[in-house]
Amino acid sequence: MSSVAILMTVFNRKEKTLACLESCYLQADAIKAEGKYEFSVFMVDDGCTDGTSEAVRDMFPQTRIIRSDGGLFWNRGMRLAWEEAAKEDFDFYLLLNDDIVLADGALASLLDNSAFLRHRAIVVGTCASNSGAITYGGRTKSNKLVKPDPAIPVSCHMFNANLVLIPKYAYEKTGNLSPVYHHSFGDYDYGVRARKKGVSCVVAPGVLATCERNPGPEKWRNSAFPLKERFAALKSPKGRPLREQFIFDSRLKGPFYAIGHGTSVIFKMLFPKRHE
């Protein structure tokens, strides 16, 4: 029986976390009953104050909860969950955001497509809003969302890690998420690094989860806020820390592109066009 580690990091989204886990465990238990796969959930609680861990422990006591103090954010929280799981040498690692609800058959689709590709490719699940608009999934090198084919996996260059299956082969080639990043960039960066190691990234057929897009624009480029607040938001872990932006852009397209894009980010912070 192959083993799958499901990795999550959470912060003060108790109801969404519970809904996500419910949809996940229902599918995992059904697949496990077939005798092919077994699942373990590793959840980093990055300083929740809303009782998330307590509620998870009550409803899903099999979840392995790792506590932190709130300073990890998404990328480093997921990295910690992965470090803990990797000690047990799983066959697959599933990156899962706590704000998604899996569509029927989503886990089976990821695993079946991985098997079709001989468990040598990263398989990305596409998320859509309740209105049906694609929100997260595989992306091109120019950061455009890849529309999933209804029947076959299609190539992507990088991805949002809302729902991503990484087989042991890809993990051994690429490793864990980069410690360079606090919150964002880590998932995009992983896809870029994997491809450089010769690991393919594909988008599984169809839409596999429901997830609303985060509202925008980001504070750092929102003209409703004064410059001082926009600059502070830009530097924050959830903004666009310029060092992290430069490292990712350099890995994606080289240092000259990174300099140009960094200049563009600063310009958008200084002279935002949008207002909410």
- pLDDT, one tens digit per residue, over 109-132 is 999 999 999 999 999 999 999 999
Cis peptide before 205 (omega within 30 of 0): no
Q: What percent of the chain has pLDDT over 70?
A: 99
pLDDT > 60? residue 276:
no
Q: Where in the chain is the domain with CATH 3.90.550.60?
A: 2-210
- In which residue are the tokens 């060092």 written? 243
Q: What is the pTM of this model?
A: 0.95
Query: Would you identify the CATH topology of the domain 2-210?
Result: Spore Coat Polysaccharide Biosynthesis Protein SpsA; Chain A (3.90.550)
Grade residue 274 by pLDDT with cuts at 50, 70 and 90.
low
pLDDT averaged over every residue in the chain: 96
What is the residue whose two structure tokens read 């504070």?
219
The C-alpha atoms of residue 260 and residue 246 are separated, in whole angstroms, by: 10
Is the pLDDT at 214 greater than 70? The verdict is yes
Q: How far is it, in rounded angstroms, from Cα 163 to Cα 247?
A: 24
| Alpha helices (runs of H) in the chain, residue ranges in sequence order | 14-32, 52-59, 73-86, 106-116, 168-174, 186-196, 227-235, 242-253, 255-270
Tokens of 4: 């799958």
Structure tokens at 113: 């497509």
pLDDT category of residue 273 using cuts at 50, 70 and 90: confident
Q: Which residues contact 105 (CB under 8 A, 6 or more apart)?
A: 27
Residue with tokens 């890849």: 146
Q: Which amino acid is at 224?
A: A
Q: What Cα–Cα distance (Å) separates residue 1 from each residue in 7, 67, 87, 254?
A: 19, 29, 18, 42
Stretch 94-111: mean pLDDT, rounded? 97
What band does 215 get if pLDDT is binned at 50, 70 and 90?
Answer: confident
